[in-house]
Amino acid sequence: MIFHRDYKMDDGRFNNNGWMQELPDPITKMTWENVILMSVQTAKKLGLYTENRENNRIRVPWVRMALEGREVYGPVWAQPGQADNTIALALGYGRTVTGRIGKFSGFDAYKIRTAKASHVAVGAKITKTADDHWLAVTQDHGAMEGRPIIREATLKQYQEHPKFATAFNMEDPPAFSPLYPNPFDEAKKLGHHQWGMSIDLSSCVGCSSCMVACQSENNVPIVGKYQVSNNREMHWIRIDRYYTGDPDKEDGIQVVNQPMLCQHCEAAPCENVCPVNATVHDQEGLNVMVYNRCVGTRYCSNNCPYKVRRFNFFDYNRRPLEQLSGPVYTTPLTHSTDGELDLFRWWKDPDRGNKPSDEWELLKLLKNPDVTVRMRGVMEKCSYCIQRIEGAKIAQKVKAGASGDVIVPDGTFKTACQQACPAEAIVFGNIADPESRVSKLKAQDRNYNVLDFLNTKPRTTYLARIRNPNPDMPEEYNYKTAHSTEEFEKKNDIHPFEEEHREPAHAKPETYGSGKGAS
Amino acid sequence: MPETPKIYGIIAEFLTPADLMHAAEKVRDKGFRKWDVFTPFPVHGMDKAMGLKNSPVGWFSFIGGVTGYTSGMLMIWWMNAYDYPVLIGGKPMFSPFGAFPPSYELTILLGAFGALGGMLFLNRLPRLHHPLLKHRRFAMATHDRFYLVIESSDPKYSEIETRKLLESLGSGHIELVEE
Amino acid sequence: MSDAVTHQASTSPSGHDSISAPGMIGTIRLQAPPAELQREPMIAHQRSPGWLSDAIAGVAECKTPLWWWLAFIPSVIMMTVCFSMIIYLLSTGVGVWGPGHPVMWGWAIINFVWWIGIGHAGTLISAILFLLRQKWRTSINRAAEAMTIFAVMCAGIFPLIHIGRIWYGWWLFPIPNSFGIWPQFRSPLMWDVFAVSTYFTVSVLFWYMGLIPDLAVMRDRAKNKIRKFSYGLFALGWTGSNRHWSHYEKAYLILAGLSTPLVLSVHSIVSLDFSVSQLPGWHTTIFPPYFVAGAVFSGFGMVLSLLVPLRRLLHLEDIITVRHVELMCKVTLATGSIVGYAYGMEFFIAWYSGNPYERYAFINRATGHYWWAYWAMITCNVVVPQFFWFKKVRTCMWLVFILSILVNIGMWFERFVIVVISLHRDFIPANWGYFRPTWVDIMQYLGTFGLFFTFFLLFIRFVPIIAIAEVKGVTPQADPHHPLGGAKGGHH
């Protein structure tokens, strides 16, 4: 039994921190509580494995753990890739004296932790109880299903086939010329910059700092455990974590991470289907979401193949966390806050919300004044931190004065996710400037688009991951090709490391003439 | 002294559609102008028997349809390509393919209004007060009897002659209709 | 087919018809077809137009039967539930329903497509069967059109209430607003706005136009002043004048001619809500014809569910005869087979395309998390209508009723399969998620049944449920060239 400081709660100091509670654990993607982690084999051996546990409100066995006369109850989670016969317990949950947020979250592992064996203990006993427990997990499915979402190569493979990343692409349809000229081609000439982002999957470790940074910068609300189990978490950027390989083999699992955010597609599928022009494209390549025009048909989210759009199912900013739970929700027509009927409170001042007044004042301090706070019924998504972009553009114009030198130099500002990333995996900038960092990264041969065949022309591209297995390792650990590649080749008739490189038509780098005075 | 009520016309009752149709032919051939037949359902061949021309309702509908289509296309072009053009997924500002469904629906909508409106206009309906509707026996016209009415304002109308004519046509019941 | 040729009215056992009249040269001997080839008459027992008026109008004129109250009160209660759920949704948020990422459309859109589909049968019966000169439509078209209108009313609720900010729903209409911006017409939802509004309006116009002569019948039979006034007001002073009939017939033909492409286009546009998107399982060109066939299929299922009990309860078996029910079963069989073919074709094309995402979408439908919905759909939509090949089934009213209910259930599951299963597993596996309806979803759906039946029961109570004038018009007594219509043979 291993006691570890929880990734988010630390030793318990962040138990009352909503952002931390709602941040999915990078590996288990668990929110709002801790679990008893054990390997899949151990869970099966103990009869605690839940077959087909993919669903909303996943139900897992509730067990009793006893160690040297102390006991604690908790839910079991079978974790692929964990060593057999080990149990991992995260500290920091199950606090009894905590604030509104931390109440009833998780179980207290301190209860069975002693000073004698404060990090590793032996001899724990697990007994099944008749109960089960439901968990809120943000990502249900762990396998990549042989789809080339994350592309990897070993170092040796990369050296032999440097252009492997685009070799995973689906075969191109025959070229055709469209009936109409693309109006965006004209509009591009009017923009001084063309924004784009490159995410290096070799650098990303899945730490999820970008998620928290984005949440804090863009006033992304938290929704609570019940809503997360209904798939309604609001994070604009998320880390997709896949397990690749065979869980039954020794060291058979590899984990890959990918930050997924709005790709700001030039041919955005979401824009076409919005009936009210609430999501449109600007001349600098951003897919802009107009909150005050959105009526909430949610067709844009259905049509987004990356599913990066988040919908405000409730007034998450006005409705207290306790009222976001359960199949029966309170309605302002009958509910009262602070002794006053919610309907009257709304009538007197529509902006007041139904939170107790102390919480309301705190909330106002919390929000970033540069970013709109969205009401219910409105769709939202990553905006490439447009407030920072505009701030930088304005500052540049002010600085430029009469000279007309309005292009923002590379590196003047960063998006929130880029700023927080400790590995500098996320790079954002002006792709119309060939000297900018992001342009250089996109020009690398590891560069690829996710879901290339849909031809959405995303501005966010990824650099494929390079693995460097140690050649001195024994045979079974010294893999020749990443597991995801094996899965891909099994499902598709494409062999990226064997064929001559095909230059896909739409992967050609576009020229982004910025029109006025680009350097 | 009570006023003699004004006479609207003379009404003859028939029992079968065939009888009515033969009677209508005779009345048509006699040259009457202001007359009509009343049936519970449209009788096949009655239009020819009465010497009626083809109904112009189609023109109302056609004008409605054309108006619908052009206004649909124009509206969409003006709204999406002229007044407030916005970049949407790299799609063209106006495309006849995309604008077709709403325009097509407007064609049908305004065509339908044209048909119904034209029909009501040509029939001079609604007309809630009609001398025939006050006539007691006329209620059978919607039931299972067939009527032929010749108005007194017709130049060939004569109270005696017309009545004799209708009797000769095989009508079982002839009455005068008051205004 | 002309009724003047098949003299089926005088059923002499020998099967011979002979017509002779004074003044005719010789006798005309007409051979009636042998017994096996004779069609059953459209109006049983040779009922006269007068009898028809009495039978049909009598439904609205007699005292309200007990069964009507027993059906009406629960319907009104469910209608109240429907409206309360809407108010709850409006005040609390879309979150009271089941959708989440990635399944953003749940029961609301399923119910919308289901109700609109049901409506299509009415328009098919009114318009398309009219253009095809199928006289048997006259016994069922009034009730079917009413069903269409009420079904479209129920359907139209959902696109409005499923949006996040219902109070801004008017932005979907091309009305000037303070932003100065207009709707985006490339979106199929905008096409829906026009299609559904047009469909509702034209259905109401067509239905009302058909009603005018029948309201005149009610007016002329009315016993008290209120009835006479109400029916008279809406009858617009119809007299039955042939000049009026002439314009009326033309307008009816035009409306039928307009409604035919309308019914084909409306459900095509609704299907384009899905086709225009990228999702595997949605992005397919088969949707427009497949949806239209499915709509007619489910609509006829509903018409059968409604009329089979009604003809018994209202003693209209002579007007809505077994032959009518059989013909409706045959249409159900035909459209159900088209739908079954479409299922097979979708699978084939998904396999043939070689696109792994498309293939997975279809395998997932049959074997994935919601496999039970898929197989319910296949059973009810492909297997069940095949029973209608057998005359024994078609003529057994109980069986027809049960099978028609199964057809409707199957069609609901079809929309579930299309909406939920395609959405819940799409391109990127990290996004795969699940959908579970909430009690509000369920109550909302059941509430729309309350709305539908409330209006339908009121319709039965006050309005003639069969097109009196049209039905009279297809009896042999209405044909001036038929002996029963007074023809004396010979000239014409």
> What's the pLDDT tens digit per position in C147-167?
999 999 999 999 999 999 999
Q: Under DSSP, is residue C235 helix (H, G, I), strand (E, B) or coil?
A: helix
Residue B87 has its nearest CB partner, among A269, A274, A281, at A281
Query: From CA C426, how far away is CA C104, in angstroms rounded?
Result: 13
Mean pLDDT of chain A: 89
* A382 within a domain of the structure (yes/no): yes
What sign does the dihedral B97-B98-B99-B100 (CA atoms) show?
Answer: positive
> What's the pLDDT tens digit per position in A239-287?
999 999 887 776 678 899 999 999 999 999 999 999 999 999 999 999 9
The two tokens of residue C323 are: 């032959």
Same domain, A195 and A60: no
Query: Which residue of C lies nearest to A147 if distances are taken between CA atoms?
Result: C428
Mention every residue, 6+ apart, whose C-beta is less than 8 A from residue A301: A270, A307, A309, A311, A379, C101, C102, C104
- Rounded to a whole number, what is the distance in Å from the CA of A299 to chain C's nearest CA? 8
Residue owning tokens 């099966």: A44
Q: Which pLDDT value is given to residue C3?
A: 40
- Rounded to a whole number, what is the distance in Å from the CA of B31 to chain C's nearest CA? 17
pLDDT band at A475 (very low <50, low <70, confident <90, very high): confident
C126 to each of A171, A480, C56, C252, how far by Cα in Å? 49, 69, 19, 10
Query: From CA A121, how far away is CA A9, in angstroms rounded?
Result: 21
Q: Which pLDDT value is given to residue A502?
A: 56
What's chain C's Rg over C-alpha atoms? Answer: 25
Most confident of A303-312, B30-39, C31-40: A303-312
User: What is Dmax (Cα atoms) for chain A?
Assistant: 78
Q: Half-sphere exposure (CA, 13 Å, Cβ side) for B127?
A: 16
Q: Which pLDDT value is given to residue C401?
A: 97
What's chain A's Rg over C-alpha atoms? Answer: 25
The answer, yes or no, to whether residue C12 has pLDDT greater than 50, is: no
Q: Which pLDDT value is given to residue A241?
A: 95
* A481 within a domain of the structure (yes/no): no
Same domain, A22 and A74: yes
Chain C residues in contact with B119 by the CB 8 A cut-off are: 209, 247-248, 250-251
Same domain, A88 and A196: no
- Rounded to a whole number, what is the distance in Å from the CA of C179 to chain A's nearest CA? 9
The answer, yes or no, to whether residue C19 has pLDDT greater than 50, is: no
pLDDT band at C489 (very low <50, low <70, confident <90, very high): low
Residue A325 CB neighbour total at 10 angstroms:
14
Sort A186 into a burial class: Cβ within 10 Å, 0-12 / 13-18 / 19+.
exposed
Same domain, A193 and A243: yes
Query: From CA B128, how far away is CA B118, in angstroms rounded?
Result: 18
The answer, yes or no, to whether residue A467 has pLDDT greater than 80, is: yes
Best CA proximity match to A448, nearest among A214, A263, A220: A263
Residue A268 has its nearest CB partner, among B85, B89, B92, at B89
User: Across the interface, do C50 and B112 touch by the CB < 8 Å criterion?
Assistant: no
Where would I find the H helices in chain B? 17-30, 46-50, 57-77, 96-122, 131-134, 159-168
A304-333 average pLDDT score: 91
Sort C176 into a burial class: Cβ within 10 Å, 0-12 / 13-18 / 19+.
exposed
Same domain, A253 and A366: yes
Query: From CA A164, how far away is CA A466, in angstroms rounded?
Result: 11
A30-46 average pLDDT score: 92
- Rounded to a whole number, what is the distance in Å from the CA of A463 to chain C's nearest CA? 18
The answer, yes or no, to whether residue A52 has pLDDT greater than 60, is: yes
Q: Which pLDDT value is given to residue A250?
A: 66
| Residue type present at position A457 | K
Sort C321 into a burial class: Cβ within 10 Å, 0-12 / 13-18 / 19+.
buried
Which residue ranges make up each domain of chain B?
7-53+130-178, 57-122
A355-366 average pLDDT score: 80
Neighbours of chain B (3+ CB pairs under 8 A): A, C
Best CA proximity match to C126, nearest among C292, C299, C247, C289: C299
pLDDT band at A344 (very low <50, low <70, confident <90, very high): confident
pLDDT band at B2 (very low <50, low <70, confident <90, very high): low
Query: Which residue of A lies nearest to B87 if distances are taken between CA atoms?
Result: A281
Same domain, A228 and A101: no
* A460 within a domain of the structure (yes/no): yes
Query: Which residue of B lies nearest to A281 if distances are taken between CA atoms?
Result: B87
* Tally of domains within chain A: 2
* Residue C453 CA, distance from chain mean position: 14
Percent of chain B's residues with pLDDT above 90: 45
pLDDT band at C6 (very low <50, low <70, confident <90, very high): very low
C400-416 average pLDDT score: 96
Same domain, A202 and A130: no
Q: Which pLDDT value is given to residue A54?
A: 73
pLDDT band at C492 (very low <50, low <70, confident <90, very high): very low
User: Across the interface, do A183 and B90 touch by the CB < 8 Å criterion?
Assistant: yes
User: Across the interface, do C278 and A145 touch by the CB < 8 Å criterion?
Assistant: no
Q: How many A/C residue pairs have CB atoms within 8 Å?
A: 198
> What's the pLDDT tens digit per position in C463-475?
999 999 999 988 8
The two tokens of residue A256 are: 């890959």
Same domain, A119 and A160: no
pLDDT band at C322 (very low <50, low <70, confident <90, very high): very high
What would the DSSP string read from start to end of C175-218?
A: ---TT-----TTSHHHHHHHHHHHHHHHHHHHHHHHHHHHHHHH
Best CA proximity match to C60, nearest among C454, C462, C456: C462
Q: Which pLDDT value is given to residue A210?
A: 96
Provide the pairing of β-strand A379-380 with A310-311.
antiparallel
A209-221 average pLDDT score: 96
C230 within 8 A of C181, measured Cβ to Cβ: no
Residue B95 has its nearest CB partner, among A180, A271, A283, at A180
Q: Tell me, what CATH number does A216's domain have?
A: 3.30.70.20
Looking at residue A25, the DSSP 8-state letter turns out to be P
Query: Of chain C residues 132-161, which have a CB less than 8 A from chain A?
Result: none
**CATH dotted code for B7-53+130-178:** 3.30.70
Looking at residue C240, the DSSP 8-state letter turns out to be -
Residue to substitute from B87, B95, B97, interface A, most A β-carbons within 10 A: B87
Percent of chain A's residues with pLDDT above 90: 64
Q: Which pLDDT value is given to residue A499?
A: 63
Residue C171 has its nearest CB partner, among A238, A269, A295, at A295
Direct distance between the N- and C-terminal alpha carbons of chain A, in angstroms, rounded to an integer:
60
What is the signed CA dihedral for A147, A150, A155, A160, rounded to 10 degrees? 50
Same domain, A234 and A285: yes
Q: Tell me, what CATH number does A52's domain have?
A: 2.40.40.20
Best CA proximity match to A305, nearest among B76, B128, C180, C283: C283
Mention every residue, 6+ apart, whose C-beta is less than 8 A from residue C12: none
Range of the structural domain that residue A458 is part of: 152-171+184-465
Mean pLDDT of chain C: 89
Same domain, A284 and A389: yes
Percent of chain C's residues with pLDDT above 90: 76
Best CA proximity match to A367, nearest among A353, A377, A379: A353
Query: From CA B16, how far away is CA C11, in angstroms rounded?
Result: 20
Where would I find the H helices in B38-94? 46-50, 57-77
This prediction's pTM: 0.91
Query: From CA A227, how far away is CA C203, in angstroms rounded?
Result: 42
Phi and psi angles of residue A124, each rounded to the nearest 5 degrees, phi first: -75, 145
Chain B residues in contact with A269 by the CB 8 A cut-off are: 89
- Rounded to a whole number, what is the distance in Å from the CA of A516 to chain B's nearest CA? 20
Same domain, A239 and A367: yes
Same domain, A268 and A340: yes
- Of A86-95, A336-345, B22-31, C326-335, the poorest mean pLDDT is in A336-345
> What's the pLDDT tens digit per position in C128-151?
999 998 888 999 999 999 999 999
* A209 within a domain of the structure (yes/no): yes
Query: From CA A325, how far away is CA A227, in angstroms rounded?
Result: 7
